[in-house]
Amino acid sequence: MYLKNHFSRIGFILAAAGSAVGLGNIWKFPYVTGEYGGGAFVLVYLLAILFIGLTVFLAEAVIGQNAQADVATSFVKTSKSKNKNWKFAGFILFSGLIILSFYSVVLGWILSYVFTSFGTLPSDAKTAGAAFETLISKDIAAQIAYHTIVAGSVIFIVLKGIKEGIERINLILMPLLGLILLGLLIYSFTLDSFSTAVSFMFSPDWSKIDGNALLAALGQAFFTLSLGVGTIMTYSASLPKNVNFVKSSIMVAIVDTAIAITAGLIIFSFLFEAGAQSSAGPGLVFISLPVIFSGWGFLGQVIAISFFVALVFAGITSAVSMIEPSLKFFIDRFNFTRRKATVICGSTFYLLGIVALLSMTSAYSESLTFFGKNAFDLMDFMTSSVMMPLAAILTCVFLGYFVDKELLQRIFTAHVSNLVFNIWYFLIKFIVPIAIITLFLNKLGIL
């Protein structure tokens, strides 16, 4: 029954774009761009999306769409040898559950800012910083409550399956997200600082670009396209085989990039209008922006609510895509019902999320610190610095060396020219693995 449950073409594009567009675009992209000085970083990031992100996206899509199965089975089915051991590549889907644990906590913080926006936002940076600090280090009950609302919504959506749950929620939330961002963009056009934001984002300052910036751009390209956790592979497994996956993948990458750039323009216009710093780091959205909104009176309140609601919408559609690979795995391989799979995976990430949030509080941080990192940071590190790069390297090496080239050529050339296939194949076989291995070793401090 589940296998018959397929996306429509537009449903897939929206769902994959919904997965891709998340906190990574609206929260992380602007602050990382700010930290690396703007234009040059944006350019490097665009190149990373085009040559590396899109290449790996196509890799996951081709495996998923061709095998029409869960991640573990897809590797076995696609391999030249059909060796059953390829099922161990399925380990990558657990990253999704781990990321979801702390992603849900962060989404909970954002939800709390939606509610705060209806009341009074802090009017200076000191109060704003203290309010955020209190939320994450002291307010356990509130954090658990918000995390519960987010986790409950994710579970509610995925229980309904691909078509009725995931496709439908994306069909509703993605256009709404687009509208809110368009509204905010139009508002930022009216600000004098808009042109400063444009030149900040598009005139390169090469002096800020070093090895770290290159790696940050590559890591961001991966995270924002939802690669390395089996999400794109799993969504593509529900994409009917006759749909042009190359075109659909390009569409997703374009939407994702357009939204990151739009979010950057909006946020930098706001920051420059208020004379604030562009390099505020992770606190940008939680500390700098609320202060700016509060200075704009009633209009500021409307903008604050719209902005945080947009973040929640973007985050929820990403969150559901993090759990789906695990659900499909249990449903397809172990014949679990969707309900049973959801209960198991849902309670796992929910409880891990509570561990993550407790590990940031002053009361529990000491007992929840392992290898010098609190549980929250450890989960982040294990996924983004270890498991996701490993998954990406594995996917490239798998396609480049353990899958029949003719098979891939046949699938690709049904949609694109042989030249395009050859470029993709060259990138996946040589360039991308080298780039990611460099990133990986560097993040682990080996290079």
Query: Nearest distance from residue 29's CB to ligand PHE, in Å?
Result: 8
* Binding residue for ligand PHE, selected from 257, 321, 342, 374, defined by CB under 6 A: 321
Nearer to ligand PHE, 194 or 440 (CB): 440
Largest interatomic CA distance in the chain: 65
Quickly count helices (H) and strands (E) in the chain.
Answer: 23, 2
Looking only at residues 281 through 320 of this chain, which bind ligand PHE when binding is defined by CB under 6 A? 318
Count of residues that bind ligand PHE according to CB under 6 A? 16
Query: Nearest distance from residue 57's CB to ligand PHE, in Å?
Result: 11
Q: Determine contact, residues 184/299, Cβ cutoff 8 Å.
A: no
Tell me 280's DSSP state: -
Interface segment toward ligand PHE; rule CB under 6 A; list 218-226, 289-297, 352-360, 367-375: 218-226
Q: Determine contact, residues 387/228, Cβ cutoff 8 Å.
A: yes
CA distance 252 to 329: 24
Which residue do the tokens 């796992």 mark? 348
* Binding residue for ligand PHE, selected from 65, 79, 226, 262, defined by CB under 6 A: 226
326 near ligand PHE (CB under 6 A): no
Which residue do the tokens 């006759």 mark? 242
Query: Nearest distance from residue 48's CB to ligand PHE, in Å?
Result: 14
Looking only at residues 96 through 155 of this chain, which bind ligand PHE when binding is defined by CB under 6 A? 96, 99
23 near ligand PHE (CB under 6 A): yes
- CA end-to-end distance (rounded Å), the chain: 48
Nearer to ligand PHE, 155 or 408 (CB): 155
Query: Nearest distance from residue 311's CB to ligand PHE, in Å?
Result: 10
Nearer to ligand PHE, 106 or 375 (CB): 106
CA distance 23 to 40: 22
Q: What are phi and psi of 22, to 5 degrees?
A: -155, -155
229 near ligand PHE (CB under 6 A): yes
Sign of dihedral through CA atoms 151, 323, 333, 90? negative
Tell me 364's DSSP state: T
Nearer to ligand PHE, 26 or 136 (CB): 26
List residues binding ligand PHE (CB under 6 A).
Answer: 19-20, 22-25, 96, 99, 223-224, 226, 229, 231, 318, 321-322
